[in-house]
Amino acid sequence: MTTDQHVITVDGLRRSYAGGFEAVSGISFSVARGEIFALLGTNGAGKTSTVELLEGLAAPAAGTVRVLGHDPYRERAAVRPRIGVMLQEGGFPSDLTVTETAAMWARCTSGARPPAEALELVGLAERAGVRVKQLSGGERRRLDFALALLGRPEVLFLDEPTTGLDAEGRRDTWDLVRALRDTGTTVLLTTHYLEEAESLADRLAIMNKGRIVATGTPAEVTGSRPARIRFTLPEGVPAGRLPLSLHAAAEGSRVSIRTQHLQESLGELLRWAEESGIRLEGLDARSASLEEAFLEIARNDMAGV
């Protein structure tokens, strides 16, 4: 359904490359204003091919894309000034300084933010006078981000924004993306980092071989997957002594239990351990993570399911 609140709508989208290979095979989703939406997927799943269609860099083979109510390919002039794009590989003249690069970009952007403000937002202010070729990989990603912010975009496309950043840089980027969302910017990002999608995305879609195979909030995508309890039994206590109802799987003394009812299963396990006078070493109980959901999808794919 398309409403004013939907800044991005994609319906039955397909993309084929020369030779007939179909990289995007009929996907549909929508992104509301002020939402952070993440596209996840294995290598070659079709994320970049999709994002390029949303950015208006190519025309779909079939289906429709609307960004801010327009076709981003045919009505590029209406869409381009209102979006910010951070590609996977930004290409900069390497002899310019950071400030010169941002200023050059700003001259091509109407109503641009002052370059210094954009550099400050991404934490590059202190590197303003450094030549681009002297930046680290992570600093170049930040410069890419600053350039995408110059036009004060209503919609921001971020293709793997934190690749190459260290843990602190990644957290800073997350904070910035959240701050932009909180001021009404709509963000569509692709990422390989599942914890990034889990922590940042309001909603997400997992792609595999050109199709969307799971979508929803991070909690919805993980909610249907089993939780896991792990521990080590003391020497001389075989896993066979555990209550059968727990369906435990053991490798030596290391035991793993997968359950849809974490609280009940954990309660049963702890009561059994207490009554048997057994100490469970390294006890760890956790709900399914997005990583597990993702790995399951990738595993099914390898198995041809």
Ligand X SMILES: Nc1ncnc2c1ncn2[C@@H]1O[C@H](COP(=O)(O)OP(=O)(O)OP(=O)(O)O)[C@@H](O)[C@H]1O
Residue 253 CB, nearest distance to ligand X (Å)? 39
We find the least distance from the C-beta atom of residue 288 to ligand X, in angstroms, to be 23
Beta carbon of residue 175, minimum distance to ligand X (angstroms, whole number): 24
Which residue, 23 or 149, has its beta carbon nearer to ligand X? 23
Cα distance between residue 69 and residue 6, in whole Å: 9
Q: In DSSP terms, which residues pair with 64 in a beta bridge?
A: 11
Q: How far apart are CA 70 and CA 279, in angstroms?
A: 63
Least CB distance from residue 248 to ligand X, whole Å?
Answer: 36
Minimum Å gap between C-beta 205 and ligand X is 12
Whichever of 54 and 246 has its CB closer to ligand X, that residue is: 54
3-state secondary structure of 275: helix
Please identify, using beta-carbon distances, which residue of 43 and 183 lies nearer to ligand X.
43
The residue (of 30 and 50) whose beta carbon lies closer to ligand X is 50
Which residue lies nearer to ligand X by CB, 23 or 227?
23
Residue with tokens 């109407």: 110
Task: Judge whether 257 and 280 are in contact, CB under 8 Å.
Answer: no
Tokens (6 digits) for 262: 């974490």
Smaller CB separation from ligand X, 12 or 17? 17
The least CB distance from residue 38 to ligand X, in Å, is 12
For binding to ligand X (CB under 6 A), which residues are involved? 17, 21, 23, 41, 43-49
Question: Cα–Cα–Cα angle for 142, 143, 148, nearest 5°?
Answer: 95
Please tell me the distance from the alpha carbon of residue 89 to that of residue 52, in angstroms, as a whole number.
13
Residue type, 290: L
CA distances (Å), origin 17, targets 58, 73, 208, 213: 11, 17, 17, 22
Asked if 297 and 206 count as a contact pair (C-beta separation under 8 A), the reply is: yes
